[in-house]
Amino acid sequence: MDSGRSQHMQTFRSNVDGWFIALAAVVIAVGIAGAIAAATAGTRLLPVIVAIPAIALVIWVWRSTRYVITDTSLQVRSALLNVAVPLRDITRLRRTSTALSAPALSLDRLAVEYGGGAIAISPAERDQFVAAITSRNPLVDVEGVHAPTAEGETQRRRQARTLALALTGVVILVFGLVVALHLVELTPPRVMVTTAGMIVESGPARIAVVPEAITSLTLEEMLPPLRKRVGWGSYTSLRGRFSTDEAAGWVHVARRRPPFIVLRTAESFLILNDSDPARTKATYEATVQRWPALRR
């Protein structure tokens, strides 16, 4: 419980069940996975449209759900919801485990009944909350709030199991993300060279270049200065859309495994290699044999 600005104001945070932790973990893990997948493909929209708002919403609901008691009202806040119930109108507080949508992060709830209806909440410090209400309105009827019930014990056991499953799921998801990221780091681009042009497949990204558009094709031991636009960058690899001072283009390299094939067009570029330098050199030789005019 936190003190408010006035000495007569009391703030209570919501109790948090395992199901909410599980939901938050899944949303955040899926958002991170989507962002990584989008970054490796050089896609800008997916993490912006899906991942970031979903994660922000979960955090917003968690941080904002609280119940403020002043001298005259009970204020229930959760994200965009802000309901004020006059204390004089509250007639009863009773325990409930309703699963209906409510500004509560736990299913072990209090139903606050008042003249205009009812609202379900879940203050973490239930006894202090009830005392704060009844000290301001002694006429409030309190029903089954303090006495433990078989239903409540069953609910608590379910919450403990849900929390254990949620934590296990988080561990599995994080481990899966680490493994997936490792596989992405190790997977070289697929390069196909034909008389019609070069096709490079990097995950879901597919880049095609016709011979007539190529202004130079070189095998270089060092990468040019690059700035990441949309993509993935680590100590060992670069994937996605990058830019130089002159242009923007695609990069898919194991940065500690030179040489690098650098293909330039009038408006863009493509830089790639394999984690095995011998295969990189073989790809370059196969390309210039197919298009002898490109050899420098």
Per residue in 90-115, pLDDT (tens digit) is: 999 998 877 788 899 888 889 999 98
User: What is the distance between the alpha carbons of residues 10 and 2, in angstroms, rounded to a whole number?
Assistant: 7
Q: 3-class DSSP state for residue 43?
A: coil
Q: CA 178: distance to chain centroid?
A: 15
How many CB atoms within 10 Å of residue 94?
A: 15
Q: Which residue matches tokens 């507080």?
A: 93
pLDDT at 36 over 70: no
Average pLDDT of the segment spanning 113-119: 90
What pLDDT score was predicted for residue 178? 61
Partnered with residue 206 across adjacent β-strands are 201
Select, from the ranges 15-29, 40-54, 219-233, the one with the highest average predicted confidence (pLDDT).
219-233
What global pTM score does this model have? 0.52
Count CA atoms within 13 Å of residue 146 on its CB side. 7
Average pLDDT of the segment spanning 227-234: 76
Mean model confidence pLDDT for the chain? 80
Name, in order, each residue with C-beta under 8 angstroms of 158's C-beta and a sequence gap of 6 or more: none
Q: Which residue matches tokens 């599995």?
A: 172
What pLDDT score was predicted for residue 7? 47
Q: 3-class DSSP state for residue 199?
A: strand
Name, in order, each residue with C-beta under 8 angstroms of 198's C-beta and a sequence gap of 6 or more: 191, 192, 208, 209, 263, 270, 287
What pLDDT score was predicted for residue 45? 55
Sheet holding 66-69, edge to edge: 2-3, 10-13, 66-69, 73-78, 81-86
Where does residue 280 rank: exposed (0-12), middle (13-18), buried (19+ CB within 10 A)? buried
